[in-house]
Amino acid sequence: DVHLVESGGGLVQPGGSLRLSCAASGFTFSSYSMHWVRQAPGKGLVWVSHIKSDGSIKTYADSLKGRFTISRDNAKNTLYLQMNSLRDEDTAVYYCARDDYRRLYLVDYWGQGTLVTVSS
Amino acid sequence: EIVLTQSPATLSLSPGERATLSCRASQSVNYYLAWYQQKSGQAPRLLIYDVSTRATGIPARFTGSGSGTDFTLTISSLEPEDFAVYYCQQRSYWPPTFGPGTKVDIK
């Protein structure tokens, strides 16, 4: 079974940084592109970032303006999201998600999410 | 950026009834339209991709249809576990975008 387990969320002050991790199991992690998708409290889903299976291509939502960095360690089966200069509006549950390798940008499995709260 | 609009925002129905959810795109997304279900406090789950193909393990009561800019998710007979929020998503253009969701709640 595919398992994606996020960690690293928590309370951070505006302007602060946080690094999220996603531990993957149950599939060959190095063969799949991965995503981060977020959901503000009571709101809808918003795509954040995508990384190709080998890490060679990374894309981001325009609204992030260079504050977030996606990365992966295929030897550790782990996906990361480094978030800097955090703002109140970054408060959300952050989901790690797997891309369907045959259909780019189709998410076929999601983790349970980790809550990031940006507040003073 | 492709904007997806979903209607209605909320659909109040009883178990056994038919649910019809709509998703409209600001321009044609070809057949690259998916539907996800999200139950309260849970992660989303893929239901339908490429307009009408059910994901693994999805019951036949879920049907997707449409083309171009107008798409529909139909649940033929609502089961108690189907009361949730449903999101459409397009992947035809970067960035991938989601609709605002339709909540199906119990009448």
**For position A117, what pLDDT does the model report?**
98
Radius of gyration (Cα) for chain A, nearest Å? 13
Q: Is the pLDDT of residue B9 over 90?
A: yes
Nearest chain A CA: its distance from B78 CA (Å): 23
pLDDT tens-digit profile of A95-104?
Answer: 999 999 889 8
Give the chain B residue nearest A41 (alpha carbons).
Answer: B41
pLDDT tens-digit profile of B66-101?
Answer: 999 999 999 999 999 999 999 999 999 999 999 999
Residues of B in contact with A1 (CB under 8 A): none
How large is the average pLDDT for residues B1-19? 96
**For position A4, what pLDDT does the model report?**
98
Instruction: Give the number of A-B residue pairs with CB atoms closer than 8 Å.
Output: 49
**Does A65 contact B at CB distance below 8 Å?**
no
Neighbours of B14 (CB within 10 A): 8
Give the chain A residue nearest B54 (alpha carbons).
Answer: A108
The torsion of the CA quartet A60, A45, A117, A83, rounded to 10 degrees, works out to: -10
**More confidently predicted of A71 and A64:** A71
pLDDT tens-digit profile of B37-65?
Answer: 999 999 999 999 999 999 999 999 999 99
pLDDT tens-digit profile of A65-97?
Answer: 789 999 999 999 999 999 999 999 999 999 999
**For position A101, what pLDDT does the model report?**
82
Q: CB–CB of A106 and B100 under 8 A?
A: no
How large is the average pLDDT for residues B18-24? 98
Q: Residue holding tokens 């939502």? A: A61
Mean pLDDT of chain A: 96
Strand-strand pairing, B70-75 and B62-67 = antiparallel
Dist. CA A65–CA B1, nearest whole Å: 16
Give the chain B residue nearest A114 (alpha carbons).
Answer: B43
Dist. CA B58–CA A29, nearest whole Å: 24
Residues of B in contact with A100 (CB under 8 A): 49
